[in-house]
Structure 1
Amino acid sequence: MRDLQLPHSVTTAIEGANVPPLPQVLLRLIQQVDDESSTVDNLAAIVSQDPGLTARILTAANSAAYYRKTAVGDIKSCVVLLGTRMVRSMATSLAVKRLFDADRGSVAADLTDFWRHSLLVAETSRAVAVATGYPKPDEAYLAGLLHDVGQLLLMSALGEQYAWLLSQTGTEDKLLELERSSLSTDHGEVGTWMADQWKLDSELADAILFHHADAAEISTASSLPRLVWFADALARGVENLVPFEELATTLLGADAGFDPGRILARALDHVQVIATAMGVAARPEPDDASPARTLPNVTVLAPPGPHQEADRALADHIRDMAVMHPLQQDLFTLTSDEELLGALRESARILFELPRMGFLLIDRESGELTGTSIAGQAAIFRQTRIARGVDVGLATRAIAEREVCSSFDEGPAHRESLLDRQLARTFGSEGILALPMVGKRRIVGVMLFALDRAEHARLKRRTPWLQNFGRIGGMSVEAWQDATSYRKQAEDEAAAAFRLQARRVVHEAGNPLGIIKSYLRILDQKLPENSEVRHELDVLRDEIDRVAGIVRRMNEVPPTDAEPASVAVNALVRELLALYAAPLFGDKGIAVTKHLGEDTDRAACDPDSLKQILVNLWKNAAEATPRGGRFDISILDGVMENGKRHVEIRMEDSGAGMPDEAIRNLSFPDQSHGQTERGHGLSIVGSIAARIGCRISCRSKAGAGTTLSLLLPCVRI
């Protein structure tokens, strides 16, 4: 579906709008992320109880900084993608934003009624979905939660203008008329526009768009819009409708046992349980003539009198220092440049309603100002390299003056440069705003934002907040750069020490291996020509060469232009079984069954790597299998996977099974959880498999054994 087109003035206003969450839910989220025992499920559950938080998380997870080929449409996946540190940083920024909103002349909103209604429609939508067999009840919940999110967007974006519309009515139907006459759009279209930006399923966006259609119209829509429409009508107690039981049959195909009243009562109880847990005041019982309100309650704060200006300036300065401190602490906990810059992007969007931005950082070695290595921003930033001391416009001027600079500042010193015009064109804005990132000891770069003239007037009175935000960003990036530099220095020192120790190990281990190999050669000469032991000695010599190679590689840099290796898997397994079957399995009374064939395909990997994988896995299988158990190994050529030929090695034992922690070591070797020798061995297997392109799958059950499958790509002929 093509994205919904809104009036340009509305689109421009809501692009940077921040949908406000209920403060009680926001507080609960902050407390939860501070709890070390908290899980992703806990965080996702809290986020999914508030349309404002849900919208904020969806916006961040689907931004360019977290680009994925497919949109992220469920809350848990969004929280996993962002990470708990980013979620906490966003929650802190939203909390600070509430203090911004207490500024003079701004709109104060009580979202309690709106929140209750949104949550009630969400709970009702999910319950109706379950009762009528709709296959995606969680999607129905999300659509119900967001059905009125356009109201929050318009309230945040238009401020007093939209507050006046809300003050003129107590019902959504009347509000809809006022929106269309005043704005040439309505909150359903605005919410749908935002859902399109998130790339959510088109049917979910349609549910938001059509939730104010009349009964005759909605009957022609697809399943999800009809379901959410019914839940909204049920939650609002819409008058002049046929009985809800009949509507449920007509719209949803519900059977005769469907009870809308019972579903609504349970949903109300569930909402009240959540409200009580959040510390939200109980809903007053409406009388028959006054249905429960579902809209935000808003008031416009009057500006202070002249005699209050000095006190206010002092209070602002103290508040500035106090409320920004938690944000700074949150940023200092982030552990990568992607996380840190992503958190700064979201904080700027939330705090100052500046959604389009980019970074240019000062390279510590060359002194150049560039965005070359920063992902998730427009190409112009990656292509820009400005030498130290060169003046190319607002970016370098902001750094030189350590002040906020914009295209709309007055005076000859703020003339526009061609780079300024390029950046504005990239942003699709009238101009730009440059905010220097000032650390404790040095300036680390500049943040650049899209800026229109109207936004300039709004931000002018927040210049001190912007300056402080730039300092927090600068100190955070500076601390991360320092930590990275110290870590690299420590790693270089550790690597040098390791190389020295590796040379000693290579020397000490090489001598006895050479002696053993020489002894085997002497033994071979003493054996009769037709001795069957000669083959075992050849395999043993090959294994000694392999071990020597492993030791030698500790002190070598792998060649980047090595010829691609290949291996005959059946032949290799036969050789290894001849050497290891008896000591690993036979001596323990474990029966080995093998199903090997001819090598019609060769696997595209080096033999030593495959040997190391198999020996480690066989050793684990032997340790896990009791006496009298079994170990089966089979090889199958010509296995097709994603249109390519593979060789499969399948191994099955009757042992105790592999614990989840061991399986994780196979799948995520860089995050090895095991501290035992077995866990370390499996992480080595996982690392080697990843390097050679071998896909390992595992099926294991406690007390019932383990089945492992190794899928090796074939050499292309």
Structure 2
Amino acid sequence: MRDLQLPQTVTAAVEGANVPPLPQVLLRLIQLLDDESSTVDSLAAVVSQDPALSARILTAANSAAFCRSTPASDIKSCVSLLGIRLVRSMATCLAVKRLFDSEPGTVAADLTDFWHHSLLVAETSRALAAATGYPHPGEAYLAGLLHDVGQLVLMSALGEQYAWLLSQAGDEDKLAELERTSLSTDHCEVGTWLADQWQLDSGLADAILFHHASAEEIVTASKLPRLVWFADVLARGVRGLAPFEELGATLFDTDASFEPGRILTRALDHVQVIATAMGITAQPEPEDAPAQRTLPNVTVLAPAHEPHDADRALAERVRDMAVMHPLQQDLHELTSETELLNALRESARILFELPRMGFLLIDRDSGDLSGRDIAGQAAIFRQTRVPRGSDAGLATRAIADRDVRSSFDDARPARESLLDRQLARAFDSEGVLSVPMVGKRRTVGVMLFALGHPAHARLRRRTPWLLNFGRIGGVCVEAWQDATASRKQAEDEAAAAFRRQARRIVHEAGNPLGIIKSYLRILDQKLPENSEVRHELDVLREEIDRVAGIVRRMNEVPTPTGAATSVAVNALIRELLALYDAPLFGDRGITVTSRLGEDTENAGCDPDSLKQILVNLWKNAAEATPRGGRFEISVLDGVVQNGRRYVEIRMEDSGAGMPDEAIRNLSFPDQAHSSADRGHGLSIVGSIAARIGCRISCRSKAGVGTTLSLLLPCVQVS
């Protein structure tokens, strides 16, 4: 069942829950992130060893900020989508968050046994999937890893209330009964609700939901829930069931070679290898403790609490990183405003348990406060524009006072701002928290968070941290905006310098072109009236005018599009061949065959642009074709595609073939990056073709040749 509904009180609590990872795994992740040789695969492997880290990464990757049409449902794709920089900032925030949670009076948990059990179920699920022919063992691993994630969420969300339930439960089955009695739900449903939020496959969510079903019930489920259920039973050593071999045969129709005990032993060995590599050792248990403890071991910290060794190492790591400094450093490395704001969202979610937020930024030119161009937030932010100097409520007051402001402050204006009410409605919250983003030289905007009374009470003592977080965000956004403005200024200056140089070139090139044209005019006057050379001279003058037009356009930004006219394509190609056949093909020993007829239908395009396309393509073909090769060109009119008529120009050469990069330059000219002349010429062809509505297709084979087809929309000859 998708979109499982939890009791409202539980939903409100778990939405902002900050699921704690095992400190040893978190420390290993931070160490890997500091190693420049680390890959996405190595990072995903570490994240996949901890259910809390996996839950955090899945939540971030499937958030609205990334606007994916298809949910990311495996850890590697999630890490790849988020990027190493964002994963690093999330890991840093999780480490800093453990400093918050180590304060006296807070609930702390030793997750070692829980981690061992989750990883053991994951490894066993994957091995069972392979042994029984399930086609997606990675999916089985993820389902096994997350099968008890609901316990972590409830522990983080409900604190002492859930700690009491854990203390009363001897095993998971008893815990599920206590959860249903006390909360009207259980950790199976909470974990499934979370999987639904990530939009994971329904079979995976069902595996979480049904892992405490009875043996009689689980037989009727699909295979993935059966795999995880059986892996959990094996890992917990549940008694009172049929022998495991018999149970496996019932669930998976296996033969005598199926040995669940051996599968479990290998999985245990694998988990032990991972635990040893991570430096994870199980805590000693009292003699009367259950043989297989799998639940988080929670305590309320006393003032003299002695931290765990891994927590001490993590705290030292954080101190070495100067607490918030690495976050700022990580944010500075992000390369776009969208990436930066997404990192701030995830950082706020981890550090302050504030899952719903938005941004309003100050426009550098007008001074207005707006969220118009910021993706991944509610529509009200995109629609908001507050003029400079206006009082629009908490957002503008936080900026003016350079301090945190909220709907629950003791000193509030008599009249509530309607914008504050709109934002609270958009957040579906009781109120709004506003944190100014103060840069080094100016305030750049404000962060706005959904806020309820419980969160307000919790955050009152963290106001300095919120202010510092706002400053970090402000400094990073300011630096990014300054860098963007500097790049634009440099680009504008380079463009201005190019235009000045282009004007000089246009002026200098215009003189010799004018002289050549005048000389041709004198030569024309000296020729006999009926000389056949006169036509060639006319073609030369047209080409000189075309070249002069190309040179003139060098200093025009953007390049103007020539007016579309009715072009007789066969006649135009004959004229060009008269000029370019010998210098391009004949002198290289390349045979040219032309199949040109009468122009019954003309092309509707700019003739100079078509000439530029053809000359560039002919030059490219001549350079690619060896001596003794051939070049063929033909024109076919009346070609119909999708109900529209075209004139087709088809060209075929026997050259070396066109490399992939050249084809990309022809098809995607905006992405052309080759500095070679051929690549540059083809990107010009692609740009001009797109501008005049010419459709180009290409077939090319190395050592055989290239065939190009140009489709030009045609106009009927009257």
TM-score, normalising length: structure 1: 0.82
Provide the residue aligned with 2:212 in structure 1.
Answer: 212
Which residue is equivalent to 1:188?
188
Determine if the alignment matches structure 1 residue 324 to structure 2 residue 324.
yes
SS where residue 361 of structure 2 aligns?
strand
CA–CA separation in structure 1 for the residues paired with 2:290 and 2:60: 39
- The answer to whether 1:402 aligns with 2:412 is no
Bigger shift: residues 94-103 or 237-246 = 237-246
Structure 1 equivalent of residue 280 of structure 2: 280
Structure 1 residue aligned with 2:556: 556
Could you tell me how far apart the structure 2 residues matched to 1:595 and 1:276 are? Answer: 77
Cα deviations by residue, 1:101-124 (Å, 9 ceiling, x for unpaired): 212222222333333333333333
Q: Match for residue 161 of structure 1?
A: 161
Tell me whether 682-691 or 469-478 shows the greater mean CA deviation.
682-691
- C-alpha spacing 1:279/1:200, structure 2 compared with 1 (3 Å): same
1:223 maps to 223
> 8 Å contact 1:568–1:602 — kept in the other structure?
yes
Aligned residue number for residue 55 of structure 1: 55
Q: CA separation of 1:321/1:472 partners in 2, compared to 1, >3 Å: closer, same or farther? A: farther
Partner Cα separation in structure 1 for residue 715 and residue 146 of structure 2: 51
Q: Give 1:310's aligned residue.
A: none
Q: What displacement does 1:354 show?
A: 0.5
Residue 431 of structure 1: how far off its partner (Å): 0.9
1:150 positional shift: 1.6
Partner-residue secondary structure (3-state), 2:323: helix
SS at match of 1:377: coil
Q: 1:590, CA displacement in angstroms? A: 7.1
Shift in CA distance, 586/125, structure 1 to aligned 2, threshold 3 Å: farther
Deviation at 1:395, TM superposition (A): 1.6
- Relative to structure 1, is the Cα distance of residues 455 and 697 closer, same or farther in structure 2, using a 3 angstrom cutoff? farther
**Deviates most, 408-417 or 176-185:** 408-417
Offset, 1:230: 3.1
1:648 and 1:709 in contact (8 A); partners too? no
The equivalent of 1:66 in structure 2 is 66
CA distance in 1, matches of 2:37, 2:362: 39
Matched, 1:251 2:238: no
| 1:480 matched to 2:475 | no
Query: How far apart, CA to CA, are the structure 2 residues paired with 1:63 and 1:581?
Result: 60
- For 1:115, the equivalent position in structure 2 comes to 115
Q: Which runs of 5+ in 2 are unaligned?
A: 306-314
Task: Give the TM-score normalised by the residue count of structure 2.
Answer: 0.82
The change in CA–CA distance for 1:227 and 1:550 in structure 2 (over 3 A counts) is farther
Contact 1:502 1:554 in 2 (8 A): yes
Q: Shift in Å at residue 226 of structure 1?
A: 2.6
1:601-680 paired onto structure 2 within 5 Å: 674=674, 676-677=676-677, 680=680
Q: Which residue of 1 aligns with 2:30?
A: 30
What amino acid maps onto 2:484 in structure 1?
Answer: T
2:493: which partner in 1?
493
Counterpart in the other structure of 2:418: 418
Following TM superposition, by how much is the alpha carbon of 1:462 offset from its aligned partner in structure 2, in angstroms? 0.9
Identity %: 78
Deviations 1:210-238 (A, max 9, x none): 22222222222223323333333344343
1:173/1:392 CA distance change after superposition, 3 Å: same
Matches within 5 A, 1:283-302: 291-302=291-302
Deviations 1:482-538 (A, max 9, x none): 22222222222222111111222233334445555666778889699796x999888
Q: Secondary structure at the match of 1:462?
A: helix
Distance 1:273 1:639, change over 3 A: farther
Distance verdict in 2 for CA 1:639–1:49, change over 3 Å: farther
Distance 1:340 1:561, change over 3 A: same
Per mean C-alpha deviation after superposition, the further-off stretch among 486-495 and 337-346 is 486-495
Give 1:577 shift.
7.7
Greater shift in the superposed pair: 458-467 or 612-621: 612-621
Which residue in the other structure is 1:357 paired with?
Answer: 357
Structure 1, residues 87-113: CA drift from partner, whole Å, max 9, x if none?
Answer: 222222222112222122222223333
Output the CA distance in 2 between the equivalents of 1:199 and 1:601. Answer: 55
Q: What is the rounded CA distance, in whole Å, between the counterparts of 1:142 and 1:638 in structure 2? A: 54
Unaligned runs of 5+ in 1: 306-314
CA contact (8 A) 2:563 2:606 kept: no
Aligned equivalents of 1:443 and 1:97: distance in 2? 26
CA distance, structure 1, for counterparts of residue 660 and residue 207 of structure 2: 41
- Structure-1 separation of matches of 2:237 and 2:634: 66
Aligned residues: 704
Partner Cα distance (2:650, 2:151) in 1? 58
Cα 1:509–1:560, aligned 2, differ >3 Å: closer, same or farther? closer
SS at match of 2:32: helix
Q: Measure how far apart 1:353 and its partner are.
A: 0.6
1:203 Cα deviation from its structure 2 partner = 2.2
| Alignment of 1:466 onto 2:466 | yes
Bigger Cα displacement from structure 2, 587-596 vs 168-177: 587-596
Alpha-carbon distance in structure 2 between the residues aligned to 1:231 and 1:645 = 64
Task: Report the Cα offset of residue 610 of structure 1.
Answer: 7.0
- Offset at 1:7? 0.8
Provide the residue aligned with 2:443 in structure 1: 443
| More displaced stretch, 560-569 vs 223-232 | 560-569
Equivalent residue number for residue 453 of structure 1: 453
3-state DSSP class of the match of 1:504? helix
Of 617-626 and 243-252, more deviation after overlay is shown by 617-626
Q: How does 1:352-391 map to 2 (within 5 A)?
A: 352-391=352-391
Distance change >3 Å, CA 538–CA 331, structure 1 → 2 = farther
Contact 2:237 2:292 in 1 (8 A): no
Distance 1:567 1:53, change over 3 A: farther
Distance 1:148 1:530, change over 3 A: farther
Cα distance, 1:624–1:599 mapped onto 2, change above 3 Å: same
The CA distance in 2 between the partners of 1:445 and 1:249, in whole Å, is 63
2:359 maps to amino acid: F
Q: Which amino acid aligns with 1:295?
A: L
Secondary structure (helix, strand or coil) at the match of 2:212 reads coil
How big is the shift at 1:607?
6.8
Structure 1 Cα separation of the partners of residues 596 and 116 of structure 2: 66
Aligned partners of 1:679, 1:335: CA distance in 2, in Å? 28
Cα gap change, 1:351/1:571 in structure 2, threshold over 3 Å: closer, same or farther?
farther
Change (3 A) 1:402 1:665: same
Q: Distance in 2 between matches of 1:706 and 1:45?
A: 47
Q: In the alignment, is the contact (CA less than 8 A) between 1:143 and 1:228 conserved in 2?
A: yes
1:348–1:615 Cα change, 3 Å? farther
SS in 2 for 1:322: coil
Give CA deviations for 1:149-208 in whole Å, capped at 9, x if unaligned.
222222221222222323333532222222212211112211111121122222222222
Kept in 2, the 8 Å contact 1:111–1:297? The answer is: yes
What SS does structure 2 have at the residue aligned with 1:323?
coil
The answer to whether the 8 A contact 2:5-2:193 is kept is yes
> How many Å separate the matches in 2 of 1:536 and 1:268?
87
The answer (yes or no) to whether the contact 2:439–2:471 under 8 Å persists in 1 is yes
Alignment of 1:501-512 (within 5 A): 501-512=501-512
Q: What SS is found at the alignment partner of 1:105?
A: coil
In the TM superposition, what whole-angstrom CA distance separates every residue of 1:513-565 from its partner, at most 9, and x where no partner exists?
Answer: 5555666778889699796x999888877766555444333322348998779
Query: How far did residue 621 of structure 1 move?
Result: 6.5
Aligned-partner residue type, residue 112 of structure 1: T
Question: CA 1:413–1:510 in structure 2 vs 1: closer, same or farther (change >3 Å)?
Answer: same
Please state whether the residue corresponding to 1:389 is helix, strand or coil: coil
Alignment root-mean-square deviation, CA: 4.6
Secondary structure at 2:109 match in 1: strand
Amino acid in structure 2 at the alignment position of 1:161: Q
Residue 180 of structure 1 aligns to a residue whose secondary structure is helix
The residue aligned with 2:338 is 338
Structure 1 CA distance, aligned partners of 2:429 and 2:461? 21
Letter of the 1:393 counterpart: G
Q: What's 2:136 paired with?
A: 136
Moved more, 469-478 or 680-689: 680-689
1:429 is displaced (CA, Å) by 0.8
Q: Please, which moves more after superposition, 216-225 or 290-299? A: 290-299
